[in-house]
A and B are shown apart, each in its own frame.
Chain A
Amino acid sequence: MKFYIQVLIGVIMLAGCAQSDSQPQEKIVKASSSAKVEVEDMPIVPLRSPEEFSLEDQRVGIDPKVIEIPSLDVKATIEEVGRLDNGQMGVPQDPDQAGWFSPGTKPGGRGNAVIAGHVDSKTGPAVFYELDKMEIGDEVLVHGEDGEIVRFAVVKKIAYPRTDAPVDTIFGFTYGSGLNLITCTGSWNRKAKTHDDRLVVYTELIEGTE
């Protein structure tokens, strides 16, 4: 029985493919009615290919390994960072690498993924030195371990005083897929040994996993 269904579907598909411009409808009817003679309990539902359907959630995200920002000519390895004992988001050990907040959302998953990078080291520029030069629409690519890529585009950039950023929004849930890039900006506060402001470049998913 299954075999007949496949034969039938095959016949229908062949008929459909062969007739690109001249009355494919007629051919299909003919093909199926001839097959029907052989199969008494023919299924009434002609199945379409599963590729036409969206059946599984694509918004699962990837384990990020490399971040690429073409407009800044940045391509950097990603470290996993967590939350420090003082409640701050952790930072990458290497100023030339970026840090993905791994307890949070994966890039491409539902919610906001966060990747932070230093603006400078003790002696010179670091991975996100030019992050403030990003413009709306600029792309950010995140590469996974097995060559998968998720693409994001900048939707806005905002600098906040370092103790007054909307942390819940930056790290929190959203029905879409965001990727928020963080670095330091503003003047160097020698007493606090940190910059006065934090720059957040908000990006949103433009394509699913490739």
Chain B
Amino acid sequence: MQFKKSWAAIPLSVSLLFPTGAILTSAAEHEHGGKASEAISNKAVDLRATLDSILSEHAYLAVVTMQKGLDGAADFEAAAGQLGENTDELSKAVGSVYGDKAGEQFKEIWSSHIGYFVNYVTATAEKDEEGRKKALKDLDGYRVTQADFLAVATENRLKASDLEEGLKMHVDQLIWAFDNYGAEDYDKAYESLKESMHHMFGTGKGLSWAITDQFPEKFDNQSVDTKAADLRESLNNEFSTHAALAILAMQKGIDGAKDFDAAAAILNTNTEDLTKSVESVYGAEGAKQFNEIWSSHIGYFVDYVQATAKEDKAGQDKAMADLDAYRVTQAAFLDTATEGRLKAADLEEGLKMHVDQLLMAFDSYVDEDYETAYDNIHEAYSHMFGVGTALSGAIVDQFPDQFASAMPADMPKTGMGGMSQETDYTILWVTLSMIFIVCTSMVLIRRKTGEQQ
């Protein structure tokens, strides 16, 4: 494999973080109020967030596309198309670090594994067990090729064996989600979907760590591994999962699909995750309030879906009016919790965007305009990374002590000198002196005793 090492000529701040990073930072600053602090948003952590966003959306779109493929759904092409755009985005990011040629190589390898997943789906639909086995074998081969590529690119900062282990988990989570979907064990399928998105945040951290370690000066010598960065990405994971699962549950709801209950249930576990995160910062009472407010907006989305199913325009309007009221309540809650670090007006604007993106994604799905639907799903997903960034920025600013580095600045003092040479001499000298004193004393005592006798 050959990598273009003249990447340094590329202005990385523009190329690597384009386009998602630029959108994320501005989203955090303008849509949710307040400028993100250096601890939350710097070149290194932004890279981590960008990769997390693209990689986790890949997992989501892959699972969705595989389901649609098996079902022969009308939106299969659009879902697959969005997955392709995601591959383009990821390859562009890789190319901006390691050169265009490496980006193309990456795209070829990465696309191959999507192809094998498609083969697996096709073989499953055709009840071709041999075809399924072949696809799994191809995926095994892919893992080795992909791991080699990344190990070489990162000059072994990412080790092939670790990468293969991580890639195995990615493949297994997707296959498990798909097999269980096919077997109608939807709870297992959706648990695996959620976990597969979460898994990608570990991959994003690893990859961004390797890149920033490899080219530290391009990232202002900043680290991707800080408590603030971990909070940002943990919230980004929870918020983006919300958007992804919400739109999926809405699709399943309007379709009257058998897996609707499981899709709604996994969305609820995400709400619980978010509530726990809020509790860890703002306590049980704050978490309870948050949970009530947050759950209400999911309820209004459900109302909207039900009204749509009944072609009940008044019901839709009522749901939208409820969502407007929700925005005000949710914004006020976050404004108060962050002691004004997030401004209610900005929050309302950000929440409007979230609501609009989900409704647009849903409406266009219902209207069978699937291109628009998946474009909006992508927008809604990416938007949530701005939400996580803004909220984590406020929290870090509010509780700076919690985010101070725990890493030592200096090595430990792991010796007391008892076995070192100098000390040995000291002991020897002291011992000899003691012996000398004892002997001399004994001689003196003897003499004295002799004299007395």
A residues neighboring B (CB under 8 Å)? 1, 5, 43-48, 50, 53-57, 81-84, 86-91, 95, 99, 101, 103-104, 110-111, 116-126, 128-129, 160, 162-163, 165, 167-168, 170-176, 182-184, 187-188, 190, 193-195, 198
Q: Which residues of B contact A99 (CB under 8 A)?
A: 412
Distance in angstroms from A114 CB to nearest chain B CB is 9
Distance in angstroms from B184 CB to nearest chain A CB is 6
When chains A and B are docked, how far (Å) is the Cα of A94 from the Cα of B215? 42
Distance in angstroms from B354 CB to nearest chain A CB is 29
B179–A47 touching, CB < 8 Å = yes
Given contacts A57-B202, A83-B406, A87-B408, are A122 and B172 in contact (CB under 8 A)? no
Distance in angstroms from A12 CB to nearest chain B CB is 10
- The residue that A194 contacts in the complex, of B127, B175, B413, B422, with Cβ under 8 A, is B413
Q: Mark B172-190, 1 if CB is under 8 A from A, else 0.
A: 1101101111111100000
**21 A-B pairs with C-beta separation under 8 A:** A44-B124, A47-B180, A53-B175, A57-B169, A57-B199, A83-B408, A89-B408, A91-B413, A91-B414, A118-B416, A120-B420, A124-B418, A124-B419, A125-B419, A165-B411, A170-B411, A175-B209, A175-B210, A183-B415, A187-B422, A193-B417
When chains A and B are docked, how far (Å) is the Cα of A5 from the Cα of B180? 12
Given contacts A54-B168, A83-B408, A89-B410, 17 further A-B contacts (CB under 8 A): A44-B127, A44-B182, A50-B176, A55-B192, A56-B195, A57-B169, A57-B202, A87-B410, A116-B414, A121-B418, A122-B416, A124-B418, A171-B408, A182-B414, A183-B414, A188-B421, A194-B417
Q: Is B276 part of the binding interface, using a Cβ–Cβ cutoff of 8 Å?
A: no
Q: Which residues of A contact B339 (CB under 8 A)?
A: none
Q: Which residues of A contact B412 (CB under 8 A)?
A: 81, 88-91, 99, 116, 182, 198
Segment at the interface with A among B10-18, B157-165, B241-249: B157-165
A117–B414 touching, CB < 8 Å = yes
B206–A198 touching, CB < 8 Å = no
Which 6 A-B pairs have CB atoms at the shortest separation, nearest pair first?
A45-B182, A184-B415, A188-B420, A87-B409, A103-B406, A175-B206
B residues neighboring A (CB under 8 Å)? 124-125, 127, 129, 157-159, 162-163, 165-166, 168-169, 172-173, 175-176, 178-185, 192, 195, 199, 202, 205-207, 209-210, 223-225, 406-423
Q: Which residues of B contact A118 (CB under 8 A)?
A: 414-416
Distance in angstroms from A194 CB to nearest chain B CB is 5
When chains A and B are docked, how far (Å) is the Cα of A49 from the Cα of B433? 76
Given contacts A45-B182, A45-B183, A56-B195, are A83 and B407 in contact (CB under 8 A)? yes
A188–B423 touching, CB < 8 Å = yes
When chains A and B are docked, how far (Å) is the Cα of A90 from the Cα of B207? 31
- The residue that A182 contacts in the complex, of B176, B225, B411, B416, with Cβ under 8 A, is B411
When chains A and B are docked, how far (Å) is the Cα of A117 from the Cα of B415? 8
Chain B contact surface mostly:
helix
- The residue that A122 contacts in the complex, of B185, B413, B418, with Cβ under 8 A, is B418
Q: Which residues of B contact A173 (CB under 8 A)?
A: 205, 209, 223-225
Q: Which residues of B contact A121 (CB under 8 A)?
A: 416, 418
Distance in angstroms from B367 CB to nearest chain A CB is 30
A167–B411 touching, CB < 8 Å = yes
* CB-based nearest A residue for B130: A25
A86–B407 touching, CB < 8 Å = no
Q: Which residues of A contact B223 (CB under 8 A)?
A: 168, 172-173
Q: Which residues of B contact A87 (CB under 8 A)?
A: 408-410
Q: Which residues of A contact B173 (CB under 8 A)?
A: 53, 55
Q: Which residues of B contact A83 (CB under 8 A)?
A: 406-408
When chains A and B are docked, how far (Å) is the Cα of A123 from the Cα of B179? 64
B417–A122 touching, CB < 8 Å = yes
Most chain A beta-carbon contacts within 10 A, residue among B183, B408, B415: B415
When chains A and B are docked, how far (Å) is the Cα of A32 from the Cα of B427? 84
When chains A and B are docked, how far (Å) is the Cα of A184 from the Cα of B77? 63
Distance in angstroms from A19 CB to nearest chain B CB is 15
Distance in angstroms from A170 CB to nearest chain B CB is 8
Distance in angstroms from B258 CB to nearest chain A CB is 10
* CB-based nearest B residue for A125: B419
A123–B418 touching, CB < 8 Å = yes
B129–A46 touching, CB < 8 Å = yes
Q: Which residues of A contact B169 (CB under 8 A)?
A: 54-55, 57
Distance in angstroms from B157 CB to nearest chain A CB is 7
Q: Which residues of B contact A84 (CB under 8 A)?
A: 408
When chains A and B are docked, how far (Å) is the Cα of A56 from the Cα of B191? 11
B176–A55 touching, CB < 8 Å = yes
Q: Which residues of A contact B407 (CB under 8 A)?
A: 83, 103-104, 167-168, 171-172
Distance in angstroms from B124 CB to nearest chain A CB is 6
When chains A and B are docked, how far (Å) is the Cα of A105 from the Cα of B11? 34
- The residue that A55 contacts in the complex, of B124, B166, B172, B417, with Cβ under 8 A, is B172
When chains A and B are docked, how far (Å) is the Cα of A5 from the Cα of B179? 13
B182–A43 touching, CB < 8 Å = yes
* CB-based nearest A residue for B212: A173
A188–B422 touching, CB < 8 Å = yes
Distance in angstroms from B437 CB to nearest chain A CB is 21
Distance in angstroms from A98 CB to nearest chain B CB is 10
When chains A and B are docked, how far (Å) is the Cα of A126 from the Cα of B418? 9
A53–B176 touching, CB < 8 Å = yes
- The residue that B172 contacts in the complex, of A54, A104, A128, with Cβ under 8 A, is A54
Q: Which residues of A contact B157 (CB under 8 A)?
A: 174-175
Q: Which residues of A contact B414 (CB under 8 A)?
A: 91, 116-119, 128, 182-184, 195, 198
B413–A104 touching, CB < 8 Å = no
Q: Which residues of B contact A50 (CB under 8 A)?
A: 176
Q: Which residues of A contact B199 (CB under 8 A)?
A: 57
* CB-based nearest A residue for B182: A45
